[in-house]
Amino acid sequence: MAEQNTSILGSASAEEPRASSSISTTDTATTPAPNAHPTTDKVKQPSQTPDQEIVCKQALMLKQTIELTTVDPNGDLYLRVGQVTCQSSLWWHPGEEGPHDHTRTQEYRVDSRALSRTSPVFMKMLYGPFSESNKSSEDEKWRVALPDDNVKAMGTLLDIMHCRFVKLPAITNAINLEHIYEIAVLTDKYDCTSLVRPWSSSWLGAASALVPKANISDLEMISWVAWEYGDQKLFEKVTKHMIIHLGGFSSYCFFKHTLEPNGLSGMYHMLAGQEYEANWGLKQSYNPDAVR
């Protein structure tokens, strides 16, 4: 069965599924019109339904076909990762149609024991008193849905859990920061940070080189990666950079789309506020008309 490698490098824009086959689902809550345009025709969604974010026919078609990647051909578990979304639902320009960039669901056939050996969270989820540990019936496949997890990052983590190291390319400074951040999110969530230790030092070194020219979003991701993988020097470096060089953003809502290391946002706003008050007081001392 042909497979497509999950790369730690490369573009962070659209996710490239590594699938070799597809699975038709029975989700037909919203059926596309026969002659509808695949991307531009809108579908009215009932309020408060799971599909209300999906506004184009192409996304609905993606929802009805789930691609399968076989990580372990003898695997007893099928992980259904991610969910179908369309970026056009976030487009805010009135009267204009947004870009149809999609994410999709990916299914991985894996060995449940490999997951439980490397992650205490998976151990409790799959073999503890939770609904995920029970099959619907003996005739059905054991499936667990993880709709909130990043598809590409989960693929990399599963390759490591199953010792498929040939799927992991050599790490260079051409790092895909977003992908490394998403992996760090999952290693925190599933309590398996030590699993990626052979690669984390390379990731941290490459991330550190990005700090001087990083934007706010990149700095947020780097701070989380440094926190998750225990690099104190990098964490201090990125925090100092945020405080010194982003003083004009004291009212900015940090970590809106990324995970926040404990207390970092509050500490930044406190220090930025102190800097503002100090500068304001200095100006007042040289202003004879100021009210004292």
pLDDT for 171 = 59
pLDDT for 89 = 54
Residues 265 and 255 sit within 8 Å (Cβ to Cβ):
yes
pLDDT for 203 = 92
Q: Is beta strand 21-24 parallel, antiparallel or unpaired with respect to 65-70?
A: antiparallel
pLDDT for 186 = 98
The predicted model scores a pTM of 0.68
pLDDT for 107 = 96
Pick out the chain residues at pLDDT < 70.
1-55, 57-64, 86-103, 135-139, 169-175, 246-253, 263-292
pLDDT for 229 = 96
Q: What is the mean pLDDT of the chain?
A: 73
